[in-house]
């Protein structure tokens, strides 16, 4: 069997359709990860030792177990809660929760880098806790970690093909079904090319961001 | 629950997972040093090769690469054993992350050390083996440790090309018992325990290497390489190695 250009050309349409879903899952998962990661990071700074340690071990557990297993676990476990999630949303939750643990560490490092004087100034000004976090600490903390956050977006994107195991018709699953009809050579090669192109382009973009935000 | 924990399937699977981790780690380590040293070479062409390898294989998900080896290459006459396809995909992928660690660590050795080797008229080979690498390797250990844990987790994907690792056995057990939630919860705990044991081993190695060099042991790993798939170090950002 040799490479067939016309077959490869026909594949681009359906594969780009799959890529749309991949990107949607990536974007939604990332938003969830950013939000949940912030919750973890703030809880980790709680003075309550029990809460603090509980959150620490939950993060450690989620972070040191494979995303693939977590996705399949969610696929079977979520319906037992009584709420029906579609495969797509199960995937978004899985990606989001998994990456929130990485992202919480990024936030944590950013928060630790905020000078102590800022906290003390907040106390001196008698600011309420919500303003301390959202008006003073986080704007300074997040600015510095934007490039690192960007790297995790790329990492999340590259983990999204795992959603194929829970039957989400993202790009890899499309390639798999197409390949089942008329040969696996072209579908997987075109998919691989798509991934390399998107990853390399986005890593160039991140490097630009780094230039803008990292050095203040 | 007890039928799941007592099932020999999961234990057999765990052994295969550890084997896979070991083989891919060895391959990744070799590739990491080869391309990392190329990447820190004085010659532009060597750096270009190193750069290309890193950008290409870092941008490609291990799953896509593995499927390509397993399903696509046999169609053009290149056939691998299943295990080889899995190890090759994981090794090439993590080798790229590792190469960045090697390159970053060599660059992180103080410039004065390099200048001293020039002043002493050492050969390029001697500079690398006697001065730069011995100081760079301890810097590599913490990020390598993180990558090893990432690799352990990444091996779960080989279940999709029918290698009977822990994840594959879990699917089998689910099919025979019908208890998806319980089986995968047990499997998650097993992965967690394996990762924690690896973590302890890595910490031990780090402490030893620091002692050999006569440095004070640091409380925490100082380097996290920006851009690796979730370099899960507790140290967070840093990114000084890249």
Residues 6+ positions from B97 with CB-CB distance below 8 Å: B28, B32, B58, B147, B150, B225, B228, B229
CB–CB of A69 and B188 under 8 A?
yes
Higher pLDDT, B6 or B164: B164
Q: How many CA atoms lie within 13 A of B74 on its CB side?
A: 12
Region B219-242: mean pLDDT is: 40
Q: Which residue of A69, A178, A198 to mutate against B (max B Cβ within 10 Å)? A: A69
CA angle A173, A176, A179 (to 5 degrees): 150
Look at the block and give the residue holding tokens 């490097």.
Answer: A207
Calpha distance A106→B233 (Å, rounded): 10
Number of domains in chain A: 1
Calpha distance A113→B155 (Å, rounded): 35
Residue B97 has pLDDT above 90, yes or no: yes
Task: Give buried/exposed letters for A93-102 (b at 16+ CB in 10 A, else e).
Answer: bbbbbbbbbb
Tokens, residue B145: 């440790």
| Per-residue pLDDT, A214 | 58
| Per-residue pLDDT, A5 | 83
Residue of A nearest to B152 (CA): A66
B196 touches A at CB < 8 Å: yes
CB–CB of A68 and B156 under 8 A?
yes
B134 touches A at CB < 8 Å: no
CB–CB of B234 and A176 under 8 A?
no
- Each residue of B183-222: pLDDT tens digit? 999 999 999 999 999 999 999 988 888 777 766 555 544 4
Distance from CA of B1 to the nearest CA of A (A): 15
CATH code, domain carrying A154? 1.10.3720.10
| Per-residue pLDDT, B223 | 45
Are the beta carbons of A158 and B229 closer than 8 angstroms? Answer: yes
Instruction: For residue A155, list chain B residues with Cβ-Cβ distance below 8 A.
Output: 228-230
At B227, is the pLDDT very low, low, confident or very high (cuts 50, 70, 90)? very low
CB–CB of A72 and B180 under 8 A?
yes
| Per-residue pLDDT, A53 | 93
Residue B235 has pLDDT above 90, yes or no: no
Residue B240 has pLDDT above 60, yes or no: no
Ordered structural domains, chain B, with CATH: 2-213 (1.10.3720.10)
Look at the block and give the residue holding tokens 């990762």.
Answer: B195
In terms of residue numbers, what domain contains A17?
A: 5-213
- Each residue of B144-184: pLDDT tens digit? 999 999 999 999 999 999 899 999 999 999 888 888 888 99
CA B65 vs CA A194, B121, B161: distances in Å: 12, 45, 12
Calpha distance B121→B209 (Å, rounded): 28
Look at the block and give the residue holding tokens 């018709």.
Answer: A169
Ranges of chain A with pLDDT below 50: 216
Region B53-67: mean pLDDT is: 91
| Per-residue pLDDT, A111 | 92
Higher pLDDT, B80 or A55: A55
């Amino acid at each position: 069997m040799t490479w067939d250009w016309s077959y490869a050309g026909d594949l681009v349409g359906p594969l780009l359709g799959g890529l749309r879903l991949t990107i949607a899952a990536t974007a939604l998962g990332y938003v969830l990860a950013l939000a949940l990661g912030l919750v973890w990071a703030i809880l980790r700074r709680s003075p309550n030792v029990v809460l603090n340690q509980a959150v620490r071990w939950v993060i450690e557990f989620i972070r040191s177990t494979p995303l693939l297993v977590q996705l399949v676990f969610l696929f079977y476990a979520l319906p037992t809660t009584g709420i029906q999630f579609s495969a797509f949303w199960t995937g978004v939750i899985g990606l989001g929760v998994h990456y929130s643990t990485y992202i919480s560490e990024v936030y944590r490092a950013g928060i630790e880098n905020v000078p102590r004087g800022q906290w003390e100034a907040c106390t001196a000004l008698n600011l309420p806790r919500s303003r301390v976090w959202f008006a003073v600490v986080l704007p300074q903390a997040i600015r510095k970690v934007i490039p690192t956050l960007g790297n995790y977006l790329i990492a999340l994107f590259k983990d999204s093909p795992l959603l194929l195991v829970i039957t989400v018709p993202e790009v890899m699953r499309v390639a798999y079904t197409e390949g089942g009809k008329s040969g696996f050579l072209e579908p997987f090669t075109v998919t691989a090319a798509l991934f390399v192109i998107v990853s390399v382009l986005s890593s160039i973009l991140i490097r630009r961001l780094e230039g803008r935000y990292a050095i203040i | 629950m007890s039928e799941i924990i007592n099932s020999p399937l999961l234990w057999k699977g765990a052994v295969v997972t550890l084997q896979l981790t070991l083989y891919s780690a060895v391959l990744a380590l070799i590739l990491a040093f080869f391309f990392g040293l190329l990447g820190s070479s004085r010659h532009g062409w060597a750096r270009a090769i190193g750069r290309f390898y890193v950008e290409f294989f870092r941008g490609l998900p291990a799953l896509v690469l593995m499927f390509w080896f397993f399903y696509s290459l046999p169609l053009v006459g290149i056939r691998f054993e299943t295990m080889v396809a899995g190890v090759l995909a994981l090794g090439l992928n993590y080798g790229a992350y590792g190469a960045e660690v090697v390159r970053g660590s060599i660059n992180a050795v103080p410039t004065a050390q390099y200048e001293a080797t020039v002043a002493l008229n050492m050969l390029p080979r001697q500079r690398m083996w006697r001065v730069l690498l011995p100081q760079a390797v301890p810097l590599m250990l913490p990020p390598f440790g993180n990558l090893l844990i990432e690799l352990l987790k990444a091996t779960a994907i080989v279940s999709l090309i029918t290698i009977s690792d822990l994840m594959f056995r879990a699917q089998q057990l689910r099919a025979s018992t019908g208890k998806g939630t319980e089986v995968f919860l047990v499997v998650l705990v097993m992965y967690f325990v394996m990762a924690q044991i690896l973590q302890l081993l890595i910490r031990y190695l780090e402490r030893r290497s620091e002692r050999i060099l006569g440095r004070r042991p640091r409380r925490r790993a100082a380097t996290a390489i920006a851009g690796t798939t979730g370099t899960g170090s507790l140290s967070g950002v840093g990114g000084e190695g890249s």
